[in-house]
Copies of this chain bind each other. A is one copy, B any other.
């Protein structure tokens, strides 16, 4: 197994990325290959007290900027670290790629260079969020802003496997994000998707609401990328705001002691969703993890752990098989003229 790291992508790259990689190699024995501007990476490793020979490096002399168009790694910068990472996965020289860089560009590189799993129309970006009893997989959180019922059904299948294989849930409860629990609640899209999800054979628990994402009622919550993105970004900002307020409240009530400051710092860390690790792009013929542009070394290390688990579970292979089975069943079930559509 090999994980390709875009060492140049992200607001804190290459510093935080290289530091996270070094920790992953030393503490977790992660099998990494770092892709980026070799002299820069070597300098960074030396700065961290490491011998550059300790890590496998591949030179790529271009970098995709955070604000460049999503097509940059495909067109203008074909020698970028992001492009090279995707090519390594495509060619089987790596099983997953990890980047803290431009999300749109990463998704484009994964879809166009690595390629989609047969039968998956739209890969989905999944976020792993904390809930009262563990973690919830929310998807899609931004890969697709406008989706059809068949896409959401594929998201459900992919989320199911992610929750089962990576989060260790034996029979993941899959919920459909809506504005009321009853079947009739929601938009025309959610009402249609409700019916579609009932036919999947997944452990579909029906509609769930915004609060259910955090109260642990579902292991997987399926939604379109617009609402998922808003909920994810809103939650990240709210968690960060509340951690700051909790810190001020503690200092005001309990005094500005070292113990209070440490507790406050711990809360800020716990409320920093970046520290949970990056979002997997599911539906690709290999692993692709996009972590936050502002990720710290710890965030990068956690994302690498996620990528290793993903590859160990051979998740994309499981998704591929299930999607193929569903596709076949539909061809039988559906009226002939809709066979190719859903």
| A interface residues (Cβ-Cβ under 8 A, vs B) | 130-132, 142, 145-146, 177-179, 186-188, 209-215, 223, 225-227, 229-239, 241-243, 245-246, 249-250, 253-254, 259-260, 262-263, 266-267, 270-271
Could you tell me if B259 and A254 are in contact, using CB atoms closer than 8 angstroms? yes
Which B residue sits closest to A185, measured CB to CB?
Answer: B145
Chain B residues, CB < 8 A from A246: 242-243, 246, 267
Q: Tell me, in angstroms, the Cα distance from A140 to B245 when the chains sit together.
A: 27
**25 intermolecular pairs with C-beta atoms under 8 Å apart:** A132-B241, A142-B179, A145-B179, A145-B187, A177-B230, A178-B226, A187-B226, A210-B229, A210-B231, A211-B236, A212-B237, A215-B241, A223-B230, A226-B227, A231-B231, A234-B235, A235-B235, A238-B239, A239-B242, A242-B242, A242-B243, A242-B271, A245-B270, A249-B270, A253-B263
A330 to chain B, nearest CB (A): 27
Chain B residues, CB < 8 A from A260: 254
Chain B residues, CB < 8 A from A132: 241
Chain B residues, CB < 8 A from A215: 237, 241
Could you tell me if B239 and A210 are in contact, using CB atoms closer than 8 angstroms? no
Query: Which A-B residue pairs are the 3 nearest by beta carbons?
Result: A210-B233, A211-B237, A210-B234
Q: Tell me, in angstroms, the Cα distance from A223 to B177 when the chains sit together.
A: 17
A326 to chain B, nearest CB (A): 27
Chain B residues, CB < 8 A from A250: 250, 263
Could you tell me if B146 and A179 are in contact, using CB atoms closer than 8 angstroms? no
Chain B residues, CB < 8 A from A142: 179
Query: Which listed residue (B188, B225, B234, B267) contacts A213, Cβ 8 A?
Result: B234
Could you tell me if A254 and B249 are in contact, using CB atoms closer than 8 angstroms? no
Q: Tell me, in angstroms, the Cα distance from A225 to B260 when the chains sit together.
A: 40
Could you tell me if A211 and B233 are in contact, using CB atoms closer than 8 angstroms? yes
Could you tell me if B179 and A229 are in contact, using CB atoms closer than 8 angstroms? yes
Q: Tell me, in angstroms, the Cα distance from A229 to B233 when the chains sit together.
A: 15
By DSSP majority rule, is chain A's interface helix, strand, loop, or mixed?
helix
Chain B residues, CB < 8 A from A188: 146
Could you tell me if A230 and B233 are in contact, using CB atoms closer than 8 angstroms? no
Q: Which of A215, A230, A237, A262 has its CB near the most chain B CB atoms (within 10 A)?
A: A230
Q: Tell me, in angstroms, the Cα distance from A237 to B208 when the chains sit together.
A: 13
Could you tell me if B242 and A253 are in contact, using CB atoms closer than 8 angstroms? no
Q: Tell me, in angstroms, the Cα distance from A203 to B238 when the chains sit together.
A: 24
Q: Tell me, in angstroms, the Cα distance from A63 to B316 when the chains sit together.
A: 54
A178 to chain B, nearest CB (A): 8
With A132-B241, A243-B246 known, 14 other A-B pairs at CB within 8 A are A145-B186, A146-B188, A177-B230, A178-B226, A187-B226, A210-B232, A211-B236, A211-B237, A215-B241, A226-B227, A227-B230, A235-B238, A254-B259, A254-B260
Chain B residues, CB < 8 A from A211: 233-234, 236-237
Q: Which of A130, A229, A238, A250 has its CB near the most chain B CB atoms (within 10 A)?
A: A238
Which B residue sits closest to A237, measured CB to CB?
Answer: B211
Chain B residues, CB < 8 A from A146: 187-188
Q: Tell me, in angstroms, the Cα distance from A212 to B230 when the chains sit together.
A: 10
